[in-house]
Amino acid sequence: MRRPFRAAHALRSLALLGLLGPLGLTACGNSTPTTPPQAQAWTDEGYVTQGPYTLSYQAQPLQDVDPQIAKRYGLQPSAGRGLLTLVLNRQPNATPVEATFSVEVRSLTGVLREAPLRRVEEAGAVSYLAEFATPQREILVFHVTAQLNDGTHLEASFRREMFAN
């Protein structure tokens, strides 16, 4: 059986918590405020490695791509669109490598963005490009996997804040 709510009982409980609050803080150790730690530096290097393979990645607003480069690759720079670029090479000579890619682009709230990849080859270099919607300023989470024919598996997860003008 539940006890009925009583205002006097609730007030006594709050008063007791108010008295114990400062005691609890001083009992934990230092009673003087300390300086918060410094923010961590940006550590995303833009690539991952597995054995002799390097998967480089970059995501940016499509409107930031140089117009001549966009034209060369058949891109339409516009606000509200982003571009993911992937390059997979074998070291030490940066030899292009074929792989099966999987790309997932999501907002922080979990909304999935369509990002179909296409292969682009120019002067012996191979890139994979994916365009995606980014309708307003938002942080997107990217998850990329590359499965090579020799069984090697590379995976990259990263976040980028996208600005649409």
With b for 16 or more beta-carbon neighbours within 10 A and e for fewer, the 39-63 pattern comes to: eeeeeeeeebeeeebbbbbebebbb
The CA distance from 81 to 62, in Å, is: 5
Whether 130 is covered by a domain: the verdict is yes
- Adjacent-strand bridge partners of 144: 103, 156
Whether 31 is covered by a domain: the verdict is no
SS3 content of the chain, % helix, strand, coil (to 5): 20, 45, 40
Whether 25 is covered by a domain: the verdict is no
- How would residue 51 be classed by pLDDT, with cut points 50, 70 and 90? very high
Is the predicted pLDDT of residue 120 greater than 50, yes or no?
A: yes
The backbone region for 46, taken as left when phi is positive above 0, alpha when psi lies in -120 to 50, beta otherwise, is left
Span 65-84, pLDDT tens digits: 999 989 999 998 888 899 99
The CA distance from 81 to 61, in Å, is: 6
pTM here is: 0.72
Whether 8 is covered by a domain: the verdict is no
Q: How many domains does the chain have?
A: 1
For position 28, what pLDDT does the model report?
A: 52
Whether 73 is covered by a domain: the verdict is yes
Cα distances from 22 to residues 10, 17, 36, 115, 119, in angstroms, run: 20, 9, 20, 53, 63
Higher pLDDT, 70 or 26: 70
CATH number for position 122: 2.60.40.3340
Asked which of 15-19, 101-105, 136-140 is least confident by mean pLDDT, the reply is 15-19
The CA distance from 109 to 140, in Å, is: 9
For position 41, what pLDDT does the model report?
A: 57
Whether 64 is covered by a domain: the verdict is yes
For position 19, what pLDDT does the model report?
A: 41
Check: CB of residue 81 under 8 Å from CB of residue 60. Answer: no
Whether 42 is covered by a domain: the verdict is no
Mean pLDDT of 86-112: 93
Tokens of 15: 């008063």
Q: Work out the percent of the chain whose per-residue pLDDT is above 90.
A: 49
